Amino acid sequence: MRWTIKPKPDSQKIKALQEALKVDETVATLLLQRGIDTYEAAKTFFRPSFDDLHDPYLMKDMDKAIARIEIAIVEGENIMVYGDYDVDGTTSVALMSSYLKTKAENIATYIPDRYDEGYGVSYKGIDFAEDNGFSLIIALDCGVKAIEKVAYAKEKGIDFIICDHHRPGEKLPEAVAVLDPKRSDCDYPFKELCGCGVGFKLISALAQKEGKTPEDLVEYLDLVATAIGADIVPIIGENRALAYFGLQIINSNPRPGMKAIITEVKKDELTITDVVFIIAPRINAAGRMKHGNHAVTLLTETDFNLAAEYAVDIDQYNTDRRETDKRITEEALIQIEENKEQEGFTTVVYQEDWHKGVIGIVASRLTETYYRPTLVFTKSGDKLAASARSVKGFDVYNALEACSEYIEQFGGHKYAAGLTLLAENYEAFKAKFEAVVKETIDPKLLTPELKVDLEIGLYQIDDRLMRIVNQFAPFGPENMTPVFMSQGIKDTGWGKCVGEYKTHLRFTAKQRDSQEIVAIGFGMGEKLDLITNSKPFSAAYTIDENHWNGNVSLQLKLKDIKA
| 171: CATH | 3.90.1640.30
Going by their DSSP bridges, the two strands 449-452 and 2-5 should be labelled as: parallel
**Whether residue 442 is found in the same domain as residue 454:** no
| 352: CATH | 3.10.310.30
Please write the tens of the pLDDT for every residue from 308-329.
Answer: 999 999 999 999 999 999 999 9
**Whether residue 363 is found in the same domain as residue 495:** no
With a pLDDT cut of 90, the percent of the chain lying above it is 89
> What pLDDT does 394 receive?
96
Handedness of CA 481, 369, 274, 477 (dihedral sign): positive
Please write the tens of the pLDDT for every residue from 99-131.
Answer: 999 999 999 999 999 888 888 999 999 999 999
Give the amino acid at 546: N
> What pLDDT does 323 receive?
96
**Whether residue 267 is found in the same domain as residue 354:** no
In a domain, 333, yes or no: no
Among candidate residues 446, 461, 478, the one where a domain is terminated:
446
Choose among 391, 64, 89, 332: nearest CA to 227. 89
**Whether residue 209 is found in the same domain as residue 343:** no
**Half-sphere exposure in the Cβ direction for 485 (13 Å, CA):** 16
> What pLDDT does 547 receive?
81
> What pLDDT does 396 receive?
95
**Whether residue 282 is found in the same domain as residue 178:** yes
Give the whole-angstrom CA distance, residue 331 versus residue 328. 5
**Whether residue 358 is found in the same domain as residue 481:** no
With a pLDDT cut of 70, the percent of the chain lying above it is 99
Give the whole-angstrom CA distance, residue 28 versus residue 34. 10
> What pLDDT does 341 receive?
60
In a domain, 378, yes or no: yes
Query: Containing domain of residue 428, as a range?
Result: 339-446
Average pLDDT over residues 136-161: 97
In a domain, 350, yes or no: yes
Give the whole-angstrom CA distance, residue 185 versus residue 454. 39
Please write the tens of the pLDDT for every residue from 180-214.
Answer: 999 999 999 999 999 999 999 999 999 999 999 99
Count up the domains in the chain and report the number: 3
> What pLDDT does 227 receive?
97
**Whether residue 291 is found in the same domain as residue 196:** yes
Answer with the residue of higher pLDDT: 94 or 515. 94
Say if CB 344 and CB 434 are below 8 A apart: yes
Average pLDDT over residues 512-525: 91
Please write the tens of the pLDDT for every residue from 264-300.
Answer: 677 778 999 999 999 999 999 999 999 999 999 999 9
**Whether residue 418 is found in the same domain as residue 475:** no
Average pLDDT over residues 19-25: 95
Please write the tens of the pLDDT for every residue from 372-383.
Answer: 999 999 998 899
**Whether residue 263 is found in the same domain as residue 356:** no
Q: Is 90 exceeded by the pLDDT of residue 32?
A: yes
In a domain, 242, yes or no: yes
Count of positions (residues) in the chain: 563
> What pLDDT does 61 receive?
98
* Mean confidence (pLDDT) of the chain: 94
Say if CB 194 and CB 233 are below 8 A apart: yes
In a domain, 265, yes or no: yes
Q: Is 90 exceeded by the pLDDT of residue 414?
A: no
> What pLDDT does 523 receive?
92
Give the amino acid at 112: P
In a domain, 249, yes or no: yes
Q: Is 70 exceeded by the pLDDT of residue 342?
A: no
Q: Is 80 exceeded by the pLDDT of residue 449?
A: yes
Render the burial of 217-233: b for 16+ CB within 10 Å, e for the rest: beebbbbbbbbbbbbeb
**Whether residue 209 is found in the same domain as residue 70:** yes
Element (H, E) at 199: helix 195-208
> What pLDDT does 548 receive?
81
3-state secondary structure of 476: strand
**Whether residue 60 is found in the same domain as residue 154:** yes
In a domain, 144, yes or no: yes
**Half-sphere exposure in the Cβ direction for 514 (13 Å, CA):** 22
> What pLDDT does 552 receive?
85
The radius of gyration of the chain from alpha carbons, rounded to an integer in Å, stands at 25
Give the largest CA-CA distance in the chain: 80
In a domain, 29, yes or no: no
Please write the tens of the pLDDT for every residue from 255-268.
Answer: 999 999 998 677 77
**Whether residue 99 is found in the same domain as residue 247:** yes
Say if CB 48 and CB 244 are below 8 A apart: yes
